[in-house]
Amino acid sequence: MAMAGRPPFLAVALLLVATVMLSWGGNVEVAEAQTPVFACDASNATLASYGFCNRKASASARAKDLVSRLTLAEKVGFLVNKQPALGRLGIPAYEWWSEALHGVSYVGPGTRFSPLVPGATSFPQPILTAASFNASLFRAIGEVVSTEARAMHNVGLAGLTFWSPNINIFRDPRWGRGQETPGEDPLLASKYAVGYVTGLQDAGAAGVVDGALKVAACCKHYTAYDVDNWKGVERYTFDAKVSQQDLDDTFQPPFKSCVLDGNVASVMCSYNKVNGKPTCADKDLLSGVIRGDWKLNGYIVSDCDSVDVLYTQQHYTKTPEEAAAITIKSGLDLNCGNFLAEHTVAAVQAGELSEEDVDRAITNNFIMLMRLGFFDGDPRELAFGSLGPKDVCTSSNRELARETARQGIVLLKNNGALPLSAKSIKSMAVIGPNANASFTMIGNYEGTPCKYTTPLQGLGSNVNTVYQPGCTNVGCSGNSLQLSTAVAAAASADVTVLVVGADQSIERESLDRTSLLLPGQQTQLVSAVANASRGPVILVVMSGGPFDISFAKASDKISAILWVGYPGEAGGAAIADILFGSHNPSGRLPVTWYPASYADTVKMTDMRMRPDTSTGYPGRTYRFYTGDTVFAFGDGLSYTKMSHSLVAAPPSYVSMQLAEDHPCRAEECASVEAAGDHCEDLAFDVKLRVQNAGEVAGAHSVLLFSSPPSAHNAPAKHLLGFEKVSLAPGEAGTVAFRVDVCRDLSVADELGGRKVALGGHTLHVGDLKHTVELRV
């Protein structure tokens, strides 16, 4: 039975499940005496005498003791994700690779489902969760996912190290993995990263010693990674040409926040090169920035097989030994793959690498496992040890998945048809290739969900439905188009709901799109059904990335449009909750929806964020894009009307007190450094009164933007903060933002340094605007 690389004591669990169901709280017997089940098992007196098993010592001291006991041949086994067992020291095998992008996943080999735990809560893909603009929700999801992960770990079904979240910027609308991310805005991505990571790691939980973690999160893919496979250009060999300004202004902020504010346990370097260097072999990016500038308290891991890729596909080094040496010396600690286990000993013997370099790397890995309790014996006797199958797929966890989808769904158009009244509908036509979607709703990096509720099921629980797919799949080619039956269903129904969009055959890891139009003949399907429909037509777009649906936006035949992302296991129930008005939509788009011409004129491989008027290059994302949009970042409607007013206006000007010898005292400057004594305590408050002026209760996301002066080719506007409030009809609430001038109003200059532009900064929330002038 192949058990090497499995999580702690999963080998035992597998043996027991084969004969009798492993019950929570039952005794676990060691199948083979020579195979350790728990590291530092307290029942073994020999193990208890080892320094690395002394739980009273610091993690670093324990790791140092363990490293001192290893041979070089043994050490290299701890550089890879499939960590082998070391029987002589009582250390079991461990698989580092588990995933938890939006729930515990079976994608990584460190986690699996069984009759004991047949599924876990599957939340919406992060792109939809981000549309909620609710930071407390980001953390709440992380807490639930880590609880289910620990529960599965305690019965041998999961590891402790989860390589999530994906916090890359959704720079280009064609990117197949944009669905995994929090969107195109650096601040939103940063807030998501901090919230989800903090929830996953749950370091402040009761009973947890300082520095200990519930599970270890990992922010990926570092950095400037957002091309997978576009017109033959693959991520494995793509060289992202990125200016220092764009790097520090757009791509790095989420990772910086993840490390500094989220105290993440790990960062994963990416496949691609950045300006000619593979990220996993870039000492400046790894040792210099992550460990040096940001002080990562954790380990750095490669994307899977990326060390092999930089040698075999990128040909960055002449020998495998050089590849092993340059990555470890650059700051890599763990290789997803087996390359370092195969070539590191030879690299040391050839003088390319010192054994001390190897020691540094595995020490970081061991310290992480110490913090997770891996070397503390039976995890069921430790913090979180009471968690088990009863804590997975609970009713509250499943309700949170449904609530997340409700908060994220974005209403893009409504001519008054929504919300629907179930009492007045005798028949509803439910049409489209995603109308009865189940697996599609959970996107990629998925796990087995607790239970599906498809759109058809959700709608059908409210009214009588007639279902016609219209196309047999989302590709909707000529052979799969079933137009006549779909048109007939719409012609005889009181209301028609069309559910179209994409799935993983259209957008996914290793597959970017080449078009922004709906796939195949979906547009023809929508138009034909809308023209034939007897009643209102509601268009629901299920996708990760945006589409050009200008035709539907302009059509009088289409009464309403919703974007529902990939809404998770309860997606169908959440869609019905929105359509029938039991929940008021409050989601906002986390990405720009571009016209189809964007894909025809802008190369996906052009990494420039800022527009270039000399060539007609329009720039990217709402912060820089100068062209037309189908829908804009932050768009989203409600069934009620929310109004904003200033409670306490910020000052009309703010003076920056520069040192006597500062050059900007003697000459006119466009900007000053966003650091130094002049930044101390330089902040002001923005207080807003938000009132629900309608007749329907609802939540509302307040987005505060700033439009800075034009110095340093600054963004047209950028997000400073967001808060979500829930208000009853007629109710008012106060939302306050603390604006730190040097942190929040600064921009990256041409060399990547943070500068505060002098002049007028216009703050705006919706139509409400106020300008603050910064002076010296």
The catalytic residues are 303
Q: Confirm if 112 and 152 have CB atoms less than 8 A apart.
A: no
Q: What are 300's strand-pairing partners?
A: 267
Which residue reads 């070397």 in tokens?
375
Q: Kindly give, in sequence order, each residue whose CB lies less than 8 Å from that of residue 646, ignoring residues fewer than 6 positions away.
A: 686, 687, 688, 689, 768, 770
Measure the N-to-C terminal CA separation of the chain; round to a whole number of Å: 72
Q: Confirm if 670 and 711 have CB atoms less than 8 A apart.
A: yes
Measured at the CA of 180, the angle between CA 175 and CA 185, to 5 degrees, comes to 75
CB atoms within 10 A of CB 653: 11
The helix (H) or strand (E) run that includes residue 326 is: helix 320-330
- What b/e readout covers 334-350, taking b as 16+ CB neighbours within 10 angstroms? bbbbbbbbebbbbbbee
Q: Kindly give, in sequence order, each residue whose CB lies less than 8 Å from that of residue 227, ignoring residues fewer than 6 positions away.
A: 172, 175, 233, 235, 238, 240, 272, 512, 604, 605
What phi, psi does 732 have (nearest 5°)? -125, 150
Q: Confirm if 305 and 335 have CB atoms less than 8 A apart.
A: no
- DSSP for residue 746: E
Q: Give CA 389 to chain center in angstroms.
A: 26
In 3D space, the residue among 746, 702, 734, 727 whose CA is nearest the CA of residue 135 turns out to be: 702
Handedness of CA 567, 572, 573, 574 (dihedral sign): positive
CB atoms within 10 A of CB 734: 11
Estimate the crossing angle of helix 522-532 against helix 483-491, to 10 degrees.
Answer: 30
Which residue reads 């072999």 in tokens?
281
Provide the phi-psi class of 333: left if phi over 0, else alpha when psi is between -120 and 50, else beta: alpha
Helical H segments across 533-601, by residue range: 550-554, 571-579, 597-601
Q: Confirm if 152 and 119 have CB atoms less than 8 A apart.
A: no
What phi, psi does 530 have (nearest 5°)? -65, -40
3-state helix, strand and coil shares in percent for the chain, rounded to the nearest 5: 30, 20, 50
Structure tokens at 63: 């790791």
What span, in angstroms and rounded, lies between the C-alpha atoms of 683 and 685?
7
Q: Kindly give, in sequence order, each residue whose CB lies less than 8 Å from that of residue 719, ignoring residues fewer than 6 positions away.
A: 185, 187, 188, 703, 704, 705
In 3D space, the residue among 311, 369, 367, 296 whose CA is nearest the CA of residue 344 turns out to be: 311
The helix (H) or strand (E) run that includes residue 234 is: strand 233-234
Q: Confirm if 195 and 210 have CB atoms less than 8 A apart.
A: no
- DSSP for residue 334: B
Secondary structure tally for the chain: helices H, strands E: 22, 27
- What b/e readout covers 167-178, taking b as 16+ CB neighbours within 10 angstroms? bbbbbbbbbbbb
Estimate the crossing angle of helix 355-371 against helix 59-68, to 10 degrees.
Answer: 130
What span, in angstroms and rounded, lies between the C-alpha atoms of 312 and 486?
51
Q: Confirm if 222 and 255 have CB atoms less than 8 A apart.
A: yes
